[in-house]
Structures are given as C-alpha cells and as structure tokens.
Structure 1
Amino acid sequence: MGLFLQVLTVLVITVSLQGWLPRGCLEEERIALLHLKDSLNYPNGTSLPSWRIAHANCCDWERIRCNSSTGRVTLLDLGGTRNEELGDWYLNASLFLPFQQLNRLILWNNRIAGWVEKKGGYELQKLSNLEILDLEYNSFNNSILSFVERLPSLKSLYLDYNRLEGLIDLKG
C-alpha cells in the first residue's frame, strides 16, 4: 500500500504542476497581438492569417517566438506584413508595451513614417529587453534617432532605406 500512495502522490503533484506551467502566450500579450494585427491590416487586410481569436496559443502563431518557460513573446517578426498600397502610416508604439520580454522586433518594409502622436517612440524605451530593432525599408526621417538611442538594451539597429538625411551620430 505504501508504494501505491507514493505513486499516487507523485501523480497528483505532476497533474497539479501542469496547471502552473505556461501553456502558451499570456492573455494580455495575445490581445495585444490581435490589436497589432488590426492596426497593420487596416482597413481589411489579409496579413497574419494564423493570428486568430479562436487559436488561443499565440506562441504557435506565425512570426512569433516565445520563451518556453514563461510563455512570454520574445520575437515579433512583422516584416513586410502591411499592404504597401495603403501608403505611409503612423504606428502606435504603445501596442508593444505588453511584451515585457521582447528582445527582437522586426518591422522592415511596412511603410512606417513615424509614431502616432502621444503613443510614439518614447513608449519603445519601456521595452527594456529589446536588443534587435529592424526598421529597414520604411519611411522614417531623422526624428527616429532620438527614440532609438534611448533603448537601454539595444545592440543592433537596422535603418537602411529610410528617409534619413545628413550626418548621423548615434552614441554607443
């Protein structure tokens, strides 16, 4: 009987721990991703078809990587997802704030001209783990520089093929 109780105890503990292990992305991040998809797809785009309300585990969605132990999003690859025919647009950078462990953000080729006023690039400095930021092939001007130089963990910044002018001097 003693062996049976030990096996039963291990089984109960194992089943209990299953409830504590991450089963995918956090609800807060999943909702933020759906808002981000809506902003990219305005007005009726078809980008990111795997990003659906019905598919709750956003860690399985295309262009996303998550930390396997926390379930938090660590990589967002949104390169080339916005329809170019929609023209230049302004991105609401506050949409990225729920992603506390985000370390790679890829936004190349989306015709981003800047940030939505009062929800702008200063919000990005709250992304304390962001190490790689790819903004190539957009429509940013030199004003982007004041935002990106405030990113505390940034190691790689890609700004090719934007509307930058003159001598560019970034610290670090």
Structure 2
Amino acid sequence: MHRSAAELVLLLLTTGVACIFFLVPDAVHLQPAGARCLQRERDALLDFKRGITSDPVDVLASWQKRHKHCCRWRGVTCSNITGHVIELDLSNTNLEDQISPFLLSLEHLEYLNLNSTYLYGPKEFSGRVPTQLASLSKLEYLDLSWTSLLEPNENLRHLDLSFTSFSRGVSPQLANLSKLEYLDLSETHLSGALPPRLGNFSNLRHLGLSFMQDTHTSDISWLSNLQLLEYVDMSDINLSTIDVLSVANKIPSLKAIVLINCSLPNANQSLRHLNLTKLEKLSGPSD
C-alpha cells in the first residue's frame, strides 16, 4: 500500500509539471527578467509593420502594441543579456511594401533574412541595397535572395543575392567586404566577364556563381587566392578557354566543385591530376 501511494504521488507530481509546460509552451524560452524588449526597438518594429501593405499569411499578427515583449513576436530574436533585437527573420512571408527606414533603430541587428518577400527599396536605390541596411553596422548575415532588393556594410559574413536583379557587378564597396565567408550571386543579372575582384574575398568558404546572365571569363587565376574555399559553383559560365580544374587543384580546402554546362576543355585529362584530399563532390566534368 505504501509503495502504491508513493507511486501515485509521483505520478501526480509528474503530470502537474507536464501540465504547466503544456499550458505555458513558451516557458522554456523565457528570457531573464532584465532582458526584456526595449521600447525604442519595439516601437520601430511596430512602425515597420504599419508600413506593410500586404501580409498574406499574417506573419506579423503577433506584433501588437499590447504585447509589450517584442522578443516573443514571430521572427524576432533578442539578446538574452541586453534585450536588444539581434535577429529578424521574415523569410518566405511574401510581405509587401518599401523597405522601412525604421529598421535603422535596430542598431544591434546581426541577422536579417528577407528571403522571398516583396519588399523593395526607393527608386533612387534601384539595383542596390538601400542605404538604411548599409547603416546597420553590426549586421553579419544578410539574405536578400528572391527579392527585388539588391553596398552592404563591412562586417557582413553572409551575403545571399541569388535570384535577384543584382546587375552592378562587384563594385569597390562590395569588394571591401573582407570578412565575407558566404557569397551567392547565382541566377542574378550579372553578365559579361567574371570580375577578378572576387579573388579579394580571402575568407570565403562558399561561392555561388551559377546560371548568371551570359557570363564568361578568360582568367580564373584569382580563384586560387581563396585558400579557405570549400564550395564553388560556376555552372553555365563559359570556361572553354581555361583549365579551371588546374586552378581548383591549388585550393586544398575544397569539398565541392560544381561546373555544369561550362564547356570545359580536356576535362577528363585534368581530372586525373586532381589532388584534393577533402573533395566530396564534383559535378559537371565527369557527368
């Protein structure tokens, strides 16, 4: 009897704890009392929301003035220590309107993902990242893929412009992103000769250059400057006059090379001399 009673008490206690977490699903995500949402940043997010003309999936439904803890709003992440908004993820939401200058108030933002939205910049910034995004000095991750947004700041480590109307080439401002580790320009409107300035991104791990508009090059030697590169995709770039595999052979960190539809000369012969011990994927030459 005593054992059965003890087991019953234990069962009730376990059930009670489970009920608490069921009724308060955010309990495990609660931030320290001293790290609540800052009013200035909450107001900036509300101002941003007021400028949105279309929110088809109600992604901003939780963004309400009466909900004062903006760190619990959908797509918003705050620092557990300071309460500053450090991440804003509005990807795949189809939000529509001009990019809001109120984002400037989120000066501690480190991560911004606007992938697959219909946000756009002022007409005078057509084809460029609007200046208000460039003013976010702590931003390290910026994803504008599948948007109509296209001079980000020097602290960026991740820049995704794939499937955008980016067509201005690698400008001096873009070439100055010395900390960049991830760059994807795939399926952009960049055309003509592949800019050798890409070789200035000495910290790159990932480089996507596939299926850009009518892109070609007669010199790929700059690629060997990217000694930390692990992934490169140059599919659909005309490489018929150069031996890109010989250049790639000088980058020991490479794990994946994608060269589909590149018109490679003597590809089979070059493959026999590859000495990339970390290579896990090679697509194109041997297909």
> Whole-Å Cα distance in 1 between the matches of residues 114 and 103 of structure 2?
12
Cα distance, 1:23 vs structure 2: 4.5
- The verdict on how the C-alpha distance between 1:55 and 1:129 changes in structure 2, with shifts beyond 3 A counting, is same
Cα distance, 1:82 vs structure 2: 3.2
- RMSD across aligned positions (CA): 2.5
Cα distance, 1:114 vs structure 2: 2.2
The answer to whether residue 80 in structure 2 is matched with residue 71 in structure 1 is no
The answer to whether residue 158 in structure 2 is matched with residue 156 in structure 1 is yes
Summarize deviations over 1:3-35 as a string: whole Å, max 9, x none. xxxxxxxxxxxxxxxxxx635110011111111
Look up the SS of the partner of 2:108 in the other structure: coil
Q: Which residue of 2 aligns with 1:131?
A: 140
- Counterpart amino acid of 1:129? K
> Whole-Å Cα distance in 2 between the matches of residues 22 and 166 of structure 1?
45
Cα distance, 1:43 vs structure 2: 5.4
The higher relative CO (CA closer than 8 Å, separation ≥ 6) is in 1
Q: Which residue of 2 aligns with 1:13?
A: none
- The verdict on how the C-alpha distance between 1:123 and 1:166 changes in structure 2, with shifts beyond 3 A counting, is closer
Cα distance, 1:126 vs structure 2: 2.3
Summarize deviations over 1:129-155 as a string: whole Å, max 9, x none. 000011010123xxx3xx22xx13111
**More moved, 160-169 vs 72-81:** 160-169
2:104 to 97, 114, 118: 97
Q: Contact between 1:47 and 1:82, CA under 8 Å: does it hold in 2? A: no
> Whole-Å Cα distance in 2 between the matches of residues 128 and 159 of structure 1?
19
> Whole-Å Cα distance in 1 between the matches of residues 37 and 168 of structure 2?
42
1:49 to 48, 61, 72: 61
> Whole-Å Cα distance in 1 between the matches of residues 36 and 155 of structure 2?
25
Consecutive unaligned residues in structure 2, runs of 5 or more: 1-32, 178-287
Q: Contact between 1:137 and 1:162, CA under 8 Å: does it hold in 2? A: yes
Q: Contact between 2:142 and 2:159, CA under 8 Å: does it hold in 1? A: yes
- The verdict on how the C-alpha distance between 1:153 and 1:99 changes in structure 2, with shifts beyond 3 A counting, is same
> Whole-Å Cα distance in 2 between the matches of residues 44 and 131 of structure 1?
26
Q: Contact between 1:23 and 1:57, CA under 8 Å: does it hold in 2? A: no
> Whole-Å Cα distance in 1 between the matches of residues 73 and 102 of structure 2?
18
Q: Contact between 1:134 and 1:159, CA under 8 Å: does it hold in 2? A: yes
- Counterpart amino acid of 2:111? R
The answer to whether residue 64 in structure 2 is matched with residue 62 in structure 1 is no
Summarize deviations over 1:29-88 as a string: whole Å, max 9, x none. 111111112223x157533111111110001111111011110000000112235xx6xx
The answer to whether residue 130 in structure 2 is matched with residue 121 in structure 1 is yes
Cα distance, 1:166 vs structure 2: 6.9
Look up the SS of the partner of 2:106 in the other structure: coil
Q: Contact between 1:29 and 1:72, CA under 8 Å: does it hold in 2? A: yes
Taking structure 1 as the reference length, what is the TM-score of the superposition? 0.69
- The verdict on how the C-alpha distance between 1:98 and 1:113 changes in structure 2, with shifts beyond 3 A counting, is closer
Q: Which residue of 1 aligns with 2:115?
A: 108
Summarize deviations over 1:92-139 as a string: whole Å, max 9, x none. 3x2111112110011111123323769x82222321100001101012
Q: Contact between 1:51 and 1:62, CA under 8 Å: does it hold in 2? A: yes
- Counterpart amino acid of 1:90? Q
Percent identity over the alignment is: 30
Look up the SS of the partner of 1:97 in the other structure: helix
Look up the SS of the partner of 1:138 in the other structure: coil
Q: Contact between 2:59 and 2:74, CA under 8 Å: does it hold in 1? A: no
Taking structure 2 as the reference length, what is the TM-score of the superposition? 0.43
Cα distance, 1:90 vs structure 2: 2.6
- The verdict on how the C-alpha distance between 1:116 and 1:35 changes in structure 2, with shifts beyond 3 A counting, is farther
> Whole-Å Cα distance in 2 between the matches of residues 166 and 123 of structure 1?
19
